[in-house]
Structure 1
Amino acid sequence: MKKLSIVVPCYNEQEAAPIFYDTVHGMEDKLSSVELEFIFVDDGSKDGTLDVLRGLHAKDERVHYVSFSRNFGKEAGIYAGLEKSTGDYVVIMDVDLQDPPAMLPEMLSYIESGEYERVATRRVDRKGEPPIRSWFARKFYKLMNKISSADIVDGARDYQMMTRKVVDAILAMGEYNRFSKGIFGWVGFKSKWLEFENVERVAGETKWSFWKLFIYAIDGIVAFSTAPLIMASVFGVIMCLVAFIFILVIIVKTLILGDPTSGWPSMVCIILLVSGIQLLCMGVLGQYMAKTYLETKKRPIYLVQEEE
C-alpha cells in the first residue's frame, strides 16, 4: 500500500491542531487506498502548539513533528515538512482547515490515475477578506504572470498533492529565499487545478497581516523576475534624456531672454523627482543584492530544536 504524507506547517495553532487531526483522521475510510502519515512543523510557536503535537504523537505513531529553534516562516516550514515526508504522495495543508480536507479523496483519485503529477487548488472568491487586500492580491498574480517565468494561478493555494517526483524536484531547489508558489509553478509537471470557495478559519487568528503579505509579494517578485532591474535601467535612460532636453531649453532660454534665474520652483520639483527615482532604483538594486548576499552565506533554511 502506498503512503500519503500530510505536511502541516503550524505557528501558534494550539487550538486548531487537534481539530485538524480529528477532522482528517475521521476521513480515513475515504482514503483507504493509502496509508496516512502526518508531518506537523512547529515554526517556533510561542503557545502550547508543541505540547499538543507531542500529545498527538503519543496517541498516534503515524503523527510526526518537527519543531524549529525559532520562527523561520511558513516557507521554511513547508520545506522542512517535505524533507521529512516519506510518502509516495505528499499533500501540503494549512492547519486552520481553510484548505478543505473534503477535497483530499478527489485529489488522490487524480494522482492515483497516473494522469497528473500534481493536483493544486485555487480559491474562486475572497469572502471575508478586506476589499483592498483582495484587490492587491489579484493584481499581484497578474503582475507575476507577466514579468516572471513561473506559472502562478490567481487564487493559488499551497494546498496541493504531489507525487514523490515533484517533491524531489522542489527539494532540489535549495535556495534560502523561498517563494513556494513560484517554485511550484516553475518546476512544471502535468497539473490539475481544483477550485473551491473561501473557508473561514476553524480556530485562532490569521498570522498574515497586510504588511507581511506585501513583503512576501516583494520577495516573490525578486525571486522569480529581473523585470524590476530592467525597469530601473529604463528609468535611468529616460531621466538622462529628459535632463538633456531641459539643459538645452535652459541654454536657449538664457541666450534669448537673458533670465537664467527664473523657473527655480520647477527646478526644485525636477530635482526632487529625479532624486526620488534614483532612490527607487537604488532600492530595487538593494533588494537583489540583499537576496544574493543571503544566498552566498549558505545558511540553513531552518534549525531543528526537537523532532519525532
Structure 2
Amino acid sequence: MISFVIPVYNERESLATLLDELAGMAASENLGPIEVLFIDDGSRDGSWRVIQGLAARDARVRAVRFRRNFGKAAALTAGFGRAKGEIVFTLDADLQDDPAEVPRFLELLNRGEGLDVISGWKRTRHDPWHKVLPSRVFNRMVSRLTGTHLHDHNCGFKCYRAEVLREVFIYGELHRFVPVLAGARGFRVGEIEVNHRSRKFGRSKYGFSRFFKGFLDLMTVRFLTGFGQRPQHVLGVLGLILLAIGGLGMGYLAAYWIVDHWVLNQDHPIGSRPLLTYSTALLVVGTQLVSLGILAELVTSYNLRAEDTFSVAEAIDSETDTRTESTAETTLANDRSSPSSA
C-alpha cells in the first residue's frame, strides 16, 4: 500500500480536485492499493465538511481533525502515525504539488540505489522572488551545515519508506528537516526535480518571518544531529575554551602585578583594567557552560533509550532461530507424551 499524507489548513477549494488527481494517477499507473490521509490542522473555512464528503464517496480517504492549528509538523506526525503504507508520500493540499510526479518518485525509489527518502526539488518555482531568493540561501546553508545536500529542503513533496518514519520524530517546525534527521540516522537521502504548479486558490500560509524561525530550527537540528547524545562535547568544549582564555587573562594580570609590585617597586592597580572584567566574565560563562553540559548529559542519559543510539537495517540471528526451534520441538514432544494429548 502507498499512503499519501496531506496536511490541510483552509484549502477547501482544492481538496476534491487533489483527490481526483491522486485517484486518477493511481488507476492509470496501476499502483495498487492506496490511502489518502487528510490532516485538518484547525481549518476555519469548512475544509472538514469537504473532507467528510470525500470520505463518504471514497473508502480510501481517511482523515483527522485537530481542535486548533498546531502546525505542519504536528499534522505530519499525526499522519505518519496512522499511515498503513510501506511507502509514504507527503504533499501540500494547495495543488502546487503535481500528483503526476508520483511514478517518477517510485521509479527512483525502486531503482536499486538504496534510497530511503526522496525529496522534491522545485527547480522552477511559481512564487514571488522575495520568497524564492531567501529560500535558496536557506537551502544552501542547511546543506552546508548538516551535510545533507538538497536543493530544496522546504519542498513538501517527499517520499519515504515507512521504516524511516518509525525512527524520526519531529515537533515544532522541524518538518522541513525530516531528510536531515533521517540522514543522521543512516538512511540514504536523494532528490528528484518536480513540476511546481501555480497556486489556484487561497494564498500562502507562510510569511517572511518563517526564515528567521527556520534559522533557529536549523541551529536546533544541527545540535540534535551532531550532539544530541553528547551535549557535553559542544557545551563543555566551548566552556573549556572560555575558561582557558579567561585563565590566560588572569595569569597575565597576576604576572604583571607581581613584576610591577615586587620587581619594579611600582604601584599600578589592575582593578580598573578592562582585561580583568573580560577575564572574569569569561571564567564565569565558561564555568556555567561546563556545568550546563554536565546537567545536559545527566538529562540525556536519563531519557535516552537504547534504540535511540543506533538504527538497524538488517539482522541475522541464527542462534535465536535455533533456540526457538529447539523450544518448539521440546514443547511438541512434551505435548505428545502428556496424558491429556493421549
Scaled by the length of structure 2, the TM-score of the pair is 0.65
Q: Tell me if 1:206 matches 2:205.
A: yes
Q: Contact 2:249/2:279 (CA < 8 Å) preserved in 1?
A: no
Given candidates 160, 163, 170, the residue that maps to 2:165 is: 170
Aligned to 1:39: 37
Cα distance in 2 between the residues matched to 1:96 and 1:281: 48
Could you list the runs of 5+ residues in structure 2 that have no partner in the other structure?
261-265, 306-342
User: Structure 1 residue aligned with 2:139, among 129, 137, 140?
Assistant: 137
Quick check: 1:49 aligned with 2:50?
Answer: no
Structure-2 change in CA distance of 1:106 and 1:134 (3 Å): closer
Cα drift, residue 125 of structure 1: 4.6
Deviations 1:11-57 (CA, angstroms, capped at 9, x unpaired): 33334434433443443454234233211111233442222211222
The aligned counterpart of 2:9 is 11
Matches within 5 A, 1:73-222: 73-111=71-109, 116=114, 118=116, 120-123=118-121, 125=123, 128=129, 129=131, 131-145=133-147, 151=148, 153-156=150-153, 157-162=155-160, 166-172=161-167, 180-188=178-186, 193-196=191-194, 201-202=199-200, 203-207=202-206, 209-222=210-223
Amino acid at match of 1:160: K
Deviation at 1:249, TM superposition (A): 1.9
Higher Cα Rg, which structure? 2
Q: 1:302 — aligned with what? A: none
Structure 1 match to 2:248: 245
Q: Which has the larger strand fraction?
A: 1
Q: Residues of 1 paired with 2:197 and 2:88: CA distance? A: 22
Q: Give aligned pairs, total.
A: 286
In the alignment, which of 213, 222, 235 is matched to residue 238 of structure 2? 235
CA distance in 2, matches of 1:122, 1:217: 19
Aligned to 2:63: 65
Query: Following the alignment from structure 1 to structure 2, what is the Cα–Cα distance between the partners of residues 288 and 44?
Result: 38
Q: Kindly state the Cα deviation for residue 81 of structure 1 after the two structures are TM-superposed.
A: 1.7
Deviation (angstroms), 1:65? 0.7
1:5–1:86 contact (8 Å) kept in structure 2: yes
Task: Report deviation, 1:141.
Answer: 2.5
Change (3 A) 1:132 1:173: closer
Deviation at 1:118, TM superposition (A): 3.7
Deviations 1:181-230 (A, max 9, x none): 33432455566531247655444213362243234323323432217642
In structure 2, the partner of 1:264 is 273
**3-state SS of 1:27 partner:** helix
Distance in 2, Cα, partners of 1:289 & 1:98 = 46
Question: Higher relative contact order by CA 8 Å / sep ≥ 6: 1 or 2?
Answer: 1
RMSD: 4.0
Q: Distance in 1 between matches of 2:17 and 2:71?
A: 22
Amino acid paired to 1:78: L
Deviation at 1:288, TM superposition (A): 8.5
User: 2-side partners of 1:201 and 1:290: how far apart?
Assistant: 46
Quick one: structure 1 residues 266 and 198, their matched pair in 2 at CA, closer, same or farther if it must change by over 3 Å?
farther
Change (3 A) 1:161 1:169: closer
Amino acid of the structure 1 residue aligned with 2:247: F
**What are the ranges of 5 or more consecutive residues in structure 1 without an aligned counterpart?**
146-150, 297-308
Q: Tell me the distance in 1 between the aligned counterparts of 2:171 and 2:56.
A: 33
Shift of 1:9: 1.7
User: For the Cα contact (< 8 Å) 2:246–2:280, is it kept in 1?
Assistant: no
Q: Amino acid of the residue matched to residue 267 of structure 2?
A: G
